[in-house]
């Protein structure tokens, strides 16, 4: 999955937190009477055609009681600031304003790293007047000091701690605080699993850092182990339900299929927690392995120091 898709999932999953984090001043007016709705991508594709940019995330803020006009936030993520084009952003904002029949549009660009030298404003003018004056809200994660958001109750901010600016010796602590924020602020286990991967990807702990995390944060490691065990049990239960649904048709593979998926999911989770991001070849081997092999590998995770010791 691309970086753009990761951030698209994050913004769409937590729209209020995303807006409050990246555009705090504009978000201040969003109260309990408002609702935030991600604009349907299919609708944009159909009506904007070739002008459509799938990886932007438009969020429509509405006040159903009519107390305020709707407000459209356009969140764009850029993993490489050198590729950013203010002209492209202008085109997209104008297209959306026409499509949504509104002139209340807030453009926001979230740069994954730093944004030094990136153009923030564009003016079109003649000798007498300025005819277009466009700028946007810039949120450059790599320029943000991690201390500012270390204890934030904004989940989007906490998940992005590894993308912020911090001393190298604080990397493990930053990772731990991001994980702690996820488990404290997100009660849904499925979302916890989904966005734990987000943290792992952008923290990118090496073997030594992951060992330091397990040594220095035993309570968090225990929480994550219980979390993994819960999904193991749920995977087995889902397999039994899958088998029951198709029993009348004589399909008995359902239980094994669901159980296998659960075992594979937990093994991947354990391996990522201990060794970091997994190579494509390792993921393919896990997908193709039988249930007994998955169980054997899961047991080896507990004592192995290197990934190849698990899968040999």
pLDDT of residue 52: 52
Of 99-113, 149-163, 277-291, which has the strongest mean pLDDT?
A: 149-163
Report the C-alpha gap between 83 and 105 in whole angstroms: 23
For residue 203, pLDDT over 90 is answered with yes
> What does pLDDT average to over the chain?
84
DSSP 80-125: SGGG--HHHHHHHHHHHHHHHT-S-EEEEEEESS--TT---EEEEE
One domain for residues 10 and 138? yes
For residues 109 and 141, is the Cβ–Cβ distance under 8 A? no
Q: Looking at the structure, do residues 136 and 8 belong to the same domain, yes or no?
A: yes
- Point out which residues pair with 38 in neighbouring strands: 59
| Domain end residue (candidates: 96, 123, 143) | 143
Contact 262, 234 (CB under 8 A): yes
Specify the length of the chain in residues: 312
- Token duo for residue 299: 């047991």
- Residues 64-109 have pLDDT tens digits of 888 788 888 988 888 889 989 999 899 889 988 888 889 999 999 9
Q: Which token pair is 188?
A: 């849904």
Q: Note whether 220 and 302 are same-domain residues.
A: yes
Which pLDDT score is estimated for 312? 76
Residues 214 and 118 in one domain: no
Report the side by side order of strands in the sheet with 35-38. Answer: 35-38, 57-62, 71-78, 105-111, 137-140
Say if 234 falls within a structural domain. Answer: yes
Residues 129 and 217 occupy one common structural domain: no
Asked if residue 173 is part of any domain, the answer here is no
Residues 139 and 214 in one domain: no
Q: Is 8 a member of any domain?
A: yes
Same domain, 125 and 216: no
Domain end residue (candidates: 143, 159, 188):
143
Per DSSP, the three-state class of 296 is: helix
Residue 46 lies in a domain: yes
Burial readout 77-104 (b: 16 or more C-beta within 10 A, e: otherwise): bbeebeebebeebbebbebbeebbeeee
Looking at the domain assignment, is residue 174 inside a domain? no
> Could you list the residue range(s) of the whole structural domain that residue 118 is in?
3-143
User: Strand 105-111 and strand 121-125: pairing?
Assistant: unpaired
**Could you tell me if 307 and 223 lie in one domain?**
yes
Give the closest residue to 182 by CA, choosing from 6, 8, 10: 10
Q: Whole-prediction pTM value?
A: 0.72
Structural domain includes residue 286: yes
Distances (CA, A) of 196 to 24, 30, 176, 192, 213: 25, 28, 11, 6, 15
pLDDT tens string 103-140: 999 999 999 999 989 999 999 999 999 999 999 999 99
Give the Cα separation of 217 and 180 in Å (integer): 10
> Is 154 part of a structural domain of the chain?
no
Within-domain flag for 196? no
Regarding whether 237 and 121 lie in a shared domain, the answer is: no
What tokens were used for 297?
Answer: 């590998």
Tally of domains within the chain = 2
Of the three residues 90, 125, 143, the one that is the final residue of a domain is 143
């Amino acid at each position: 999955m691309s970086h753009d898709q990761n951030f698209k999932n994050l913004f769409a999953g937590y729209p209020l937190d995303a807006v409050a984090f990246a555009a705090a001043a504009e978000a201040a007016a969003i109260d309990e009477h408002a609702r935030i709705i991600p604009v349907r991508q299919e609708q944009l594709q159909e009506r904007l055609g070739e002008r459509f940019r799938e990886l932007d995330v438009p969020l429509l803020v509405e006040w159903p009681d009519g107390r305020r006009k709707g407000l459209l936030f356009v969140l764009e993520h850029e993993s490489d600031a050198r590729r950013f084009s203010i002209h492209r952003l202008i085109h997209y904002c104008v297209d959306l304003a026409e499509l949504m029949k509104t002139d209340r549009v807030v453009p926001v660009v979230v740069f994954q790293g730093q944004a030094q030298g990136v153009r923030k404003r564009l003016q079109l003018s003649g000798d007498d007047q300025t005819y277009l004056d466009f700028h946007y809200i810039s949120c450059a994660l790599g320029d943000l000091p991690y201390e500012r958001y270390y204890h934030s109750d904004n989940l989007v901010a906490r998940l992005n701690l590894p993308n912020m600016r911090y001393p190298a010796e604080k990397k493990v602590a930053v990772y731990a605080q991001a994980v702690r924020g996820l488990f404290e602020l997100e009660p849904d286990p499925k979302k916890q699993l989904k966005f734990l991967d987000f943290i792992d990807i952008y923290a990118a702990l090496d073997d030594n850092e992951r060992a330091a995390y397990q040594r220095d944060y035993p309570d968090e490691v225990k929480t994550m182990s219980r979390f993994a065990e819960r999904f193991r049990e749920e995977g087995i239960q889902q397999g039994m339900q899958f088998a029951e649904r198709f029993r009348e048709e004589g399909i008995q593979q359902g239980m094994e299929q669901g159980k296998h998926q659960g075992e594979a999911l937990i093994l991947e989770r354990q391996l990522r927690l201990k060794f970091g991001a997994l190579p494509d070849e390792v993921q393919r081997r896990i997908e193709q392995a039988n249930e007994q092999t998955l169980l054997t590998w899961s047991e080896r995770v507990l004592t192995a120091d290197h990934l190849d010791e698990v899968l040999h």
